[in-house]
Amino acid sequence: MTTQSADDAAVPPGWRKRTLPGFAGLIGPLWVRKEDDGWAYGLLTTSDHLNPAGVVHGGLLTALLDHGISAIAWEALGRRACVTVQLDTHFLAAAREGQFLEVRGRVVRATSSLVFMQGELSTDGEVVATAVAVLKQIGPAPRAGESAAGDPAAGGPAADTPAA
């Protein structure tokens, strides 16, 4: 269990901090929470996330939506790797420094090779952005006991943790 620092005081209870390698680590740390209908992904915004206008950069919002939606798809598909082939993002409100952003999503439809997703990014109960995505499943589904998808270097978390 990760203890929250004073800087993390704005993070709602029940969230767990995840430090990840690669691009996700650059925008984070990211937070995860298991909910009744799946996993949610979060980020506590800082001054590093702002654009010149003083609000959270749309690229950060898009990256967070993409990461969250992909991780939700990965989990829903039995931890099968997938990549985004299309992401339509709609910005509805500004996010500000110090706010905790939360991403939730759902699989709309899955075929043998594509996954159609919907996602929503919110803060304090207000929807900031929505997204519709198409992801392509790559590689075979992992077999029981196989850990390749659980290797953070391969893009997935350990078998007992959510993708984040």
- Residues 114, 141: Cα–Cα separation, whole Å: 13
Give yes or no for a cis peptide into 12 (omega within 30° of 0).
Answer: no
Q: Which pLDDT score, from 0 to 100, does residue 7 have?
A: 63
How deeply is 133 buried, as exposed, middle or buried, from its count of CB atoms within 10 A (0-12, 13-18, 19+)?
buried
- Residues 148, 142: Cα–Cα separation, whole Å: 8
Give pLDDT < 70 ranges for the chain. 1-7, 141-164
- pLDDT digits over 105-148, tens only? 999 999 989 999 999 999 999 999 999 999 999 977 666 665 44
For the chain, give me the number of helices (H) and strands (E)? Answer: 2, 7
Cα atoms in the 13 Å half-sphere on the side-chain side of 21: 7
